[in-house]
Structure 1
């Protein structure tokens, strides 16, 4: 499995994660329903305002999902940052992963991280790392 993402989108969420550090940053990346390339970043507010956890505001999430429907887009990626650990799904990330079709992108802002960005599919509690294909 591979996440196809534009370089501009990846750079945008990396800047967001750095700007919001030490709190976790979060959001979604959308793509037109007929395309596989994740390109439109929609930053969202971390309602938890936490350095170790994120949660979307339910009202904001509903607005975003309605906008996706209006634009004939899909949520292709759910992303968030880890501020004190590697870019690997936590137990909470795995427990809250609901959609096996969505890519879960994690960016680490931890100074000691070996990998700054990694993508996963999470299916019934099982984690599958996937390749990142960065497109111009």
Structure 2
């Protein structure tokens, strides 16, 4: 039997605070979503001025990163590379901005961010994850 790590509320709050700080420091209005390893939403935070649709896109990016165990940008690159049939995959957040939370080579959750350029979304997600010191 294996023992595995799991996100706790204190971890989620630390990720959210660090992600919010990164977004605020850059004056980026975004939505931040944090999911567990099964892609289930644990946290959703829409900063002032974030587009309403970002509240749908951020959780989808987090879910895609958690279930795929890789950054959601990988799927965007596959599609942009010409494999358009991948659009029929059973996932919605196939855009950059979803980043898995990895501990000891195992995915324990993911952060999805939406509201600014996709590279900036990913920057915010990574800043949040960095707060865990993994």
| Superposed pair shares fold, TM > 0.5 | no
More helix by share: 2
Greater RCO (Cα-Cα under 8 Å, separation 6 or more): 2
More strand by share: 1
